[in-house]
Amino acid sequence: MVSRPPDACAQDGGPQSRDWARDVAFDQAHLWHPYAAMGAPVWPVVAADGVRLTLADGRRLIDGMSSWWAAIHGYNHPLLNSAVSAQLGRMAHVMFGGLTHGPAVDLGRRLVDLTPAPLEKVFLCDSGSVAVEVAIKMALQYWQARRRPTKHRLLALRGAYHGDTFAAMSVCDPVTGMHRLFAGLVPEQLFAPRPACRFEDPWEPAAITEFADLIAAHKDELAAVILEPVAQGAGGMWFYHPQYLREVRALCDAHGVLLIADEIATGFGRTGRFLACDHASVTPDILCLGKALTGGYMTLAATMTTAEIAAVIGRGEAGCLMHGPTFMANPLACAAAVASIDLLIADDWQARVGRIADQLARELDVCRGLAAVGDVRVLGAIGVVETREVLDLAALTARFVDAGVWLRPFGRLVYLMPPYVISPEDLSILTATIAAVLADL
């Protein structure tokens, strides 16, 4: 039943004319939020610019999340705004079946240029989870076309997060992921332990042993290994040694298994290198990008692969890659991505990320001394404080909001990945607030 709300015209009148108490009550009664029960607390945001979110009550919060890795240039950026507005004036969307357009070609060129040479075929899709589905489909179709249909399983890492759709779920950590909930429906994959050797520690050859045994034992049924290179994100914010990645690459080559790198969180400089794979000078066979691709403006992701894999898929039974979303290569999203990439390159992101990394390491160090804290780790513009006990998400988020910062802890993790444009002063407020709030636990 659809009834027009009595104050429908007020919706055009901007945030001041809204009844926010009513709106939040409606939201809590009717709208699902990510991984949250209906009715969980939400804060209404009316505007965002730079690194600040403006709440409906006028409070301004310093953003420590980049809206989940995405808003690397901050919010409401004039260059991104004008790129999207210009494209909007020409065409918001057109189907990509049988048609093409400038923003898609411009983005494709940049992605081919910026990624290692053999990656030159680009599939533009709607979201990170879909990019992972497409990557898995590429690997499966590749082995089908090579008449090796038994190679249809994946080897993933514990502690991984690759998205929320079914194939993506199947390669998420089997404990913290949703395998039990959907047992029998999620394909059963193989899992190696979370890489034990920390990013900054000396390499421990034993760290790869179990992975090496698994891939050797199952090579005839494995289509691909999928992993988040060097930095695992939502599955536990864990940073591991680049040598692990080199060993994985060598083992994949030795055993005839493809390597899928999920750089949806790590791509575009977040770990201090353009791709996290660059820490190890490793090139995957299939690469997933997303999140920061559009600078946080719109949902868009990309799956890239080599000419060889694309050619084999093309020779298979289907004759093509069997995927094609309605909103594939949406022009507005592509235009935002082109502008975001150009801005990133022009902006000396290495220096920005390096400065954030140094400051995070310096300022989060005090958290090591806190009774509630078990570990502190920093890689690039990612800072993580791991507590000993599971955190009360709602209570903690509310305390952060009261202190004027936007952080979204989960499990035992308080973490920040600010926009690259954050000033040292604002970043200090974020780190000091984390230390103060955790000191009180």
Ligand X SMILES: *Cc1c(COP(=O)(O)O)cnc(C)c1O
Residues 6+ apart with CB under 8 A from 139: 154, 223, 224, 258, 260, 285, 286
* Per-residue contact flags (x/-) with ligand X for residues 256 to 275, judged by CB under 6 A: ------x-xx----------
Rule CB under 6 A: is residue 239 a binding residue for ligand X? Answer: no
Is residue 244 flagged as an active site residue? no
The site that binds ligand X (CB under 6 A) totals a number of residues, namely 15
* Closer residue to ligand X, CB minimum distance, 159 or 233: 233
In the complex, which residue's CB is closest to ligand X? Answer: 128
Residues 6+ apart with CB under 8 A from 90: 331
Q: Which of 50, 103, 163, 295 binds ligand X (CB under 6 A)?
A: 163
Is residue 291 flagged as an active site residue? yes
| Token pair recorded at residue 384 | 């993580």
Q: Which of 107, 140, 234, 416 binds ligand X (CB under 6 A)?
A: 234
| Token pair recorded at residue 207 | 């760290």
**In 182-325, which residue ranges form alpha helices assigned H by DSSP?**
209-218, 242-255, 307-315
The single residue listed with the structure tokens 């080559």 is: 253
Local structure of 397: helix, strand or coil: helix
Maximum distance among all Cα pairs of the chain, rounded to whole angstroms: 67
Instruction: Please tell me which residue in 291, 297, 420, 426 is annotated as part of the active site.
Output: 291
Is residue 219 flagged as an active site residue? no
Instruction: Please tell me which residue in 262, 278, 285, 426 is annotated as part of the active site.
Output: 262
Alpha-carbon 330 to chain mean position: 19
Neighbour count for residue 294 (Cβ, 10 Å): 29
* Closer residue to ligand X, CB minimum distance, 168 or 341: 168
Q: Which of 75, 96, 161, 274 binds ligand X (CB under 6 A)?
A: 161
- 236 in Cβ contact with 176 (< 8 Å): yes
- 112 in Cβ contact with 123 (< 8 Å): no
Q: Which of 50, 64, 128, 380 binds ligand X (CB under 6 A)?
A: 128
Local structure of 388: helix, strand or coil: coil
* Per-residue contact flags (x/-) with ligand X for residues 189 to 228, judged by CB under 6 A: ---------------------------------------x
Touching ligand X, residues 279-308 (CB under 6 A): 290-291
* Closer residue to ligand X, CB minimum distance, 293 or 422: 293
Instruction: Please tell me which residue in 75, 142, 161, 244 is annotated as part of the active site.
Output: 161
Positions in the binding site for ligand X (CB under 6 A):
127-129, 132, 161-163, 228, 233-234, 262, 264-265, 290-291
Catalytic positions are 35, 161, 262, 291
